[in-house]
Structure 1
Amino acid sequence: MRTQNLTILLLLLFPFIHVSGQYTEELNSSRPGASQGAFSVGKNVLQFESGFSLGKEEHRLLETETNAFALDYSVRYGFLKEELEVSLMGEFQSNTYSYPTLAGRPDFKVSNFRSNTVGAKYLVYDPYRKMELEGPNLYSWKANNRFQWKDLIPAVSVYAGANIDFTENAVDKLTNPFSTSMDELTISPKFVLATQNNWIGGFVFVTNIIVDRVTTEEPVYSYILTLTHTPTDWFSVFVENQGIKSDFYADQLFRGGVAVLINENFHVDGSVILNFKDTPSRTYGRIGMAYRFDMHDSDEYIEEKGKAGRASRKERKAKNKKEKKKNKRMDAVEDDGDGGDGGI
């Protein structure tokens, strides 16, 4: 209930915007939040995102205390067409925890990958493309800068990936504390439905519905809600709520932080994460960066789908045909050989 109230409050407090997006002149990163936006990085763009976290966990029932270090990473590449992106995402974590014994509280260290996922994301619907083609209302500034019901229609993408989970540490052969599988190597699917609204005033609202590891004995279902605001061209802030449900682990996580654009291809960020339960409680600080190699050479027109797309293509084809006929008639006026001076 607390999560729902927080989300509703945030949505009521902030005004709305729509902005077009796919390839952008400035780096477009999923950091520092955990959600995936609907849009890809752009065709022929290679982007690296990474960060490290330091945190502490305390479990009231088990009486354990854990100091954690985590490294997350993401490699994203857009190819073939603007709507498509492939990626490798993962996280490595090392925990040092202590628990009460007759001899005191000895430390015990474990480390392994929380996740390694290879996948692809595809933009299936982009309402901002149609808005961009229609253009602004030239007669009314107010009409272009007020909330409209169509602003609630988000861009939509789908993601499908494969989790590659290792159940043993390759160095000391300890069991992976972040996995419930007993197999040496487990490959399982991950699916994400991502939506994105770009609203007036520099606000972006992203939702993710996630179905993860459904072929294993411990499937995970979760959602992520992320609200980002960019008050300037180089600075942004965000708040985020993530709900996780599985038999192995369930939680409500809250994140907040900032990102600073150093130049069009590089940004740095900082964030915090916490929850409100004590089995365990979690408090983490996180800093990171994103960098892209921009090899995008030309903008690609993203065709509309369905009946509207066919009508639009037909209209453009007829217009091009008309222009060709007009140019042909202009070229048909031949020189009479007098040099244009009337034979004088």
Structure 2
Amino acid sequence: MRKITILSLFLTFSYTIQAQYTETINSNRPGQSQGAFAVGTNVIQLEAGAYLGNEEHKGFNSNVDVWGVDYQLRYGLFFESLELSLTGAFENQDATFQFLGTEDGYKYRNFRANTFGAKYLIFDPYKTLEEDKPNLYSWKANQRFKWKKLIPAISLYAGLNFSFGDNPYLYPGEGKYSPKAAIISQNNWGRWVLVTNFIADKLSEEFRSYTGIITVTHSLSEHLALFGEYQGIISDIYADDIIRAGGAYLVGNNFQFDLSALTNFKDTPSRWQVAAGVSYRFDLHKIDEFLEESKEGNERRKRSKKLESQQDGDEQENEGEGDL
């Protein structure tokens, strides 16, 4: 699944990464989780999509039609383990509700969320843990399950939520700025990728939010991957259990498009939603930062040396033609 590297949701989406930079785009779409690995230095990546859905609340006797766009801008800065990001969503809600035989409604349209954040990889098992050497005397020992494969890559995320003007999506008394933090883990098992996010949001506010996301991605081919995701939300304002599923298709090395859907398990409110999106990478990465002790690092080093030799040969050939 090295070439599809589609993260996140089961990535977002994905891949067998030993270094941060990958040959193909590493997207967090179409899920809500983010992977542990960064995009790579000098890589600019835009991930955006549109969604459409409905929320029906039995207790309030209300019906809300929802549409919106979400986006994420990611940038690898300074070194391979660090990534900066801007994540947000602009949403429109058309609501109607009935009370004592009368019908009323409202319409909201504003930025539902905006967060500027930074993610840093603090532990990479592919770099830290030594690769097992083959046992020349025992086939059974070579086939035995390696427990260290369960050790994930781990990243820390810190962000700042911000809002401007009179935003109807802020509850009464909520500040326009609040911190957000997350612990991210990721396991790469061949064609399978497991990503978990543990998120604490609006930490400076009275009504904090705690979210857990588990995303599983399976690569069917070099271009197609499917994902499934569970998201649990705990808050005094809104709590829910949500599942998502969908797929992503890779076109070339830098472009991906995706489709997904979600639903929940309660009627206060009951929710459904469908979404479609794209991810595009502006690959300005010039030099691979190889991991010294990894199979992937050695393979990338060999490929780069081969490419450099070919480029030197082409330059010498062009110079020879110029002399003629």
TM range (shorter): 0.7 to 0.9
Q: Aligned residue for 1:39?
A: 37
Unaligned runs of 5+ in 2: 1-14, 294-324
Q: Aligned residue for 1:239?
A: 228
* Post-superposition offset of 1:146: 6.2
Code of the aligned partner of 1:215: S
Code of the aligned partner of 1:191: A
Q: Aligned residue for 1:325?
A: none
Alignment of 1:44-59 (within 5 A): 44-59=42-57
Q: C-alpha deviations, 1:221-277, integer Å up to 9, x for none?
A: 111000001121111000000111111110011000000001100000000011010
Aligned: 1:63 with 2:61 = yes
Residue in structure 2 matching 1:259, options 236, 248, 255: 248
Task: Give TM-score scaled by structure 2 length.
Answer: 0.80
Q: Aligned residue for 2:213?
A: 224
Aligned: 1:194 with 2:184 = yes
Q: Aligned residue for 1:163?
A: 161
Q: C-alpha deviations, 1:6-59, integer Å up to 9, x for none?
A: xxxxxxxxxxx9653421100000000000100000111000000111001100
Q: 2:25, 2:254 within 8 Å by CA — same for their partners in 1?
A: yes
* Post-superposition offset of 1:137: 3.7
Aligned counterparts of 2:172 and 2:86: Cα–Cα separation in 1: 22
User: What is the SS of the residue equivalent to 1:99?
Assistant: strand
Q: Aligned residue for 1:179?
A: 170
* Post-superposition offset of 1:97: 0.8
Q: Aligned residue for 1:12?
A: none
Code of the aligned partner of 2:170: S
Code of the aligned partner of 1:237: L
Q: Which has the larger radius of gyration?
A: 1
Q: Aligned residue for 1:153?
A: 151
Q: 2:161, 2:177 within 8 Å by CA — same for their partners in 1?
A: yes
Alignment of 1:200-211 (within 5 A): 200=190, 202-211=191-200
User: What is the SS of the residue equivalent to 1:128?
Assistant: helix
Code of the aligned partner of 2:110: N
Measured on the aligned residues, the alpha-carbon RMSD in Å equals 2.3
Alignment of 1:1-344 (within 5 A): 20-101=18-99, 104-130=102-128, 134=131, 137=134, 147-166=145-164, 168-169=166-167, 176=168, 178-182=169-173, 186-200=176-190, 202-302=191-291
* Post-superposition offset of 1:179: 1.8
* Post-superposition offset of 1:217: 1.2
Q: C-alpha deviations, 1:189-247, integer Å up to 9, x for none?
A: 000100000013x0000000101111011111111000001121111000000111111
Structure-2 change in CA distance of 1:141 and 1:238 (3 Å):
farther
- Structure in which a larger fraction of residues adopt strand: 2
Unaligned runs of 5+ in 1: 1-16, 170-175, 305-344
Code of the aligned partner of 1:272: A
Q: C-alpha deviations, 1:264-306, integer Å up to 9, x for none?
A: 00000000011010000000000001001001111114579xx
Aligned counterparts of 1:54 and 1:156: Cα–Cα separation in 2: 33
Q: 2:39, 2:83 within 8 Å by CA — same for their partners in 1?
A: yes
Code of the aligned partner of 2:113: S
User: What is the SS of the residue equivalent to 1:27?
Assistant: coil
User: What is the SS of the residue equivalent to 1:100?
Assistant: strand
Aligned counterparts of 1:288 and 1:161: Cα–Cα separation in 2: 23
Aligned counterparts of 1:286 and 1:34: Cα–Cα separation in 2: 12
* Post-superposition offset of 1:180: 1.5
Aligned counterparts of 2:96 and 2:156: Cα–Cα separation in 1: 41
**Structure with higher RCO (Cα < 8 A, 6+ apart):** 2
* Post-superposition offset of 1:142: 7.8
Q: C-alpha deviations, 1:91-121, integer Å up to 9, x for none?
A: 1111001111567534421122221000100
Aligned counterparts of 1:83 and 1:41: Cα–Cα separation in 2: 9
Structure-2 change in CA distance of 1:188 and 1:197 (3 Å):
same
Code of the aligned partner of 1:275: N
Runs of 4 or more off by more than 6 Å in structure 1? Answer: 140-146
Q: 1:260, 1:267 within 8 Å by CA — same for their partners in 2?
A: yes
